[in-house]
Amino acid sequence: MWIADHWKEYEVLDCSRGEKLERWGDYLLVRPDPQVLWDTPRTNEGWRKKNGHYHRSNKGGGEWEFFQLPEQWEVHYKELTFHLKPFSFKHTGLFPEQAVNWDWFSDLIRNAGRPVKVLNLFAYTGGATCAAAKAGASVTHVDASKGMVTWAKENAKASGLEAAPIRWIVDDCVKFVEREIRRGNRYDAIIMDPPSYGRGPKGEIWKIEEKIHPFIQLCTQVLSDKPLFVLVNSYTTGLAPAVLTYMLGTEVVPKFDGKVEAQEIGLPVKETGLILPCGAAGRWSHE
């Protein structure tokens, strides 16, 4: 398992009864987590001193309950700064487990010895975009949500990347890649964080189990002659690391050689010393 254990301003303090207790900078949040199937004693005092609690509804969705929590605040990861704000569907605007991938591809970009063009698809609030740009890459950031792209721009500015070579694109990711193929544009690296289910700007339906393999196939057509890496993340429990290995191994390796690794990614839990699983990632590179 790849573990994001270099955070200083974020940690999972405990997890029990379908929820996790997290510290985001100076604030404590309790959020539901479908992986937390155990019922262990909640001895950490943070459970009682929480600043925000997302309550899951039996009808689907849910709502936040706040206790002295600002509308927005910041956390830092190494040289990066991220704006956080709780919004619908329990999210804060950041997936901290992804830091283990940021570190991996940042090293590849810094050591490439050449300019690197990165395409970040389903790019959300720009964690990977900021990490890649900070490492020296030029980045094309694509997300179907205008609000998410605006938020990503704020994170880039907060991280000192306002003048960095980042293209901000609000578009359906599949249609954007199809147009880039027709335009003859090529990229040295691709990052994708596809949702389990989503809709594009014009109502395009995305179901990961149906769409992910043909999309990886499509994306190989925008890779440069000597690509640096491809990273595919999955938050769906049904997509095991072996599935990501198989898709990258059948679509990317035959064209560019290299090797594929895939693992669960996770976060350490302070109370128990165990690891909370947070999905999986598949990585292709020559190293």
DSSP state of 226: S
Please name the residues in contact with 226: beta carbons below 8 A apart, sequence gap of 6 or more. Answer: 188, 256
Residues 101 and 17 grouped into a single domain? no
Predicted TM-score (pTM) of the model is 0.95
Q: Is 279 left (phi over 0), alpha (psi -120 to 50) or beta?
A: left
CATH number at 59 reads: 2.60.40.1180
Q: E strands within 149-258?
A: 166-170, 189-192, 197-199, 205-207, 229-234
What burial class does residue 234 get, using C-beta atoms within 10 Å of its C-beta: 0-12 exposed, 13-18 middle, 19+ buried? Answer: buried
- Which tens digits make up the pLDDT trace of 66-123? 999 999 999 999 999 999 999 877 899 999 999 999 999 999 999 999 999 999 999 9
Residue 90 falls within a domain, yes or no?
Answer: no
Residues 118 and 69 in one domain: no
**Structural domains in the chain (count):** 2
* Phi-psi group of 17: left, alpha or beta (phi > 0 → left; psi -120 to 50 → alpha; rest → beta): left
248 domain residue, yes or no:
yes
Inside any domain, residue 76: yes
Strand 52-56, strand 275-285: pairing: unpaired
H/E element holding 56? strand 52-56
Same domain, 76 and 31: yes
| 186/181 Cα distance (integer angstroms) | 8
- pLDDT by residue for the chain (287 residues), tens only, comes to 999 999 999 999 999 999 999 999 999 999 999 899 999 999 999 999 999 999 988 877 899 999 999 999 999 999 999 999 998 778 999 999 999 999 999 999 999 999 999 999 999 999 999 999 999 999 999 999 999 999 999 999 999 999 999 999 999 999 999 999 999 999 999 999 988 777 766 777 777 777 899 999 999 999 999 999 999 999 855 688 999 999 999 999 999 999 999 999 999 999 999 999 999 999 999 98
Q: Examine the domain organization and report whether 109 and 187 are in the same domain.
A: yes
DSSP character string of 112-164: SSS--EEEEES-TTSHHHHHHHHTT-EEEEEES-HHHHHHHHHHHHHTT-TTS
Query: Six-digit token pair at 113?
Result: 């010895």
State whether 277 and 175 are in the same domain: yes
CATH of the domain at 104: 3.40.50.150
Tokens, residue 77: 């990861």
Would you state the torsion angle of the CA atoms of residues 191, 195, 200, 201, taken in this order, to the nearest 10 degrees?
A: -80
Tokens, residue 112: 């490439």
Q: At what angle do helices 241-251 and 208-219 cross, to 10 degrees?
A: 30
Nearest to 173 by CA among 133, 207, 201: 201
For 194-211, the pLDDT digits (tens) are 887 777 667 777 777 778
Domain coverage including residue 194? 96-285
Q: Which of 36, 61, 84 is the last residue of a domain?
A: 84
Asked whether residue 122 falls in the same domain as residue 216, the answer is: yes
Using DSSP's 3-state secondary structure scheme, residue 47 falls into helix
Q: Is residue 45 part of a domain?
A: yes
